[in-house]
Amino acid sequence: MRDERYVALADILPQATVRVLQRYYRRIIETRYKIRFAEKTRRWEFEEAPIANLVNLQLSDLVQRITGENIVPTYAFPVHYVSGGHIWPHLDVPENEISLTMQLDLTPADGEWPLMLEAPRTKELRGVSMRNNDGVLYRGTEVVHWRDKMPDQYQVMQLIFAWRATNMSGCNAQ
């Protein structure tokens, strides 16, 4: 994380938690409850994320240990990509100073849809493939990242978690 500005993580959450999250998000996708479709990126975006925000908070100690920084969670962003989904190369907004993209549910289960990253120092491009419950923790405001077009018949549910440094002069310094 220190040199490359990102690190791959495996088996982030307990398996029982992953199964509950998979069922929860599958149900929301089935019912289309409080989600909207973004045609440009071919993904469903969730208008509310109470469960993901709780997981974001619970992951904060782990992320703080990995980064060695005092951080606070800012928000979670669940998204469900469908065939042809993609996201252009970009840097994150300041609230995503540190980001974790976690793959929750990929169909087909044996498929791959890597998160592409450009190492800030070397400009080397890397694709990181994940299994369900794996993720990539990265400096969202420093590491250019994207997803190429998803293959046909694929879909993926992912949770994006965000943190920023603690503002020692602000209200979260207490």
Give the residues across from 87 on adjacent strands.
147
Mean pLDDT confidence for 146-165: 96
Calpha distance 28→21 (Å, rounded) = 11
Instruction: Examine the pLDDT at 174 and tell me if it is beyond 80.
Output: no
CB 127 within 8 A of CB 8: no
Instruction: Compute CA distances 131 → 18, 25, 40, 85, 160, whole Å.
Output: 12, 17, 25, 18, 15
Amino acid at 51: I
- Look up the pTM and report it: 0.93
Q: What is the pLDDT of residue 12?
A: 98
56-100 per-position pLDDT tens digit: 999 999 999 999 999 999 999 999 999 999 999 999 998 899 999
Q: Which residue ranges form the domains of the chain, and what is each CATH number?
A: 6-165 (2.60.120.620)
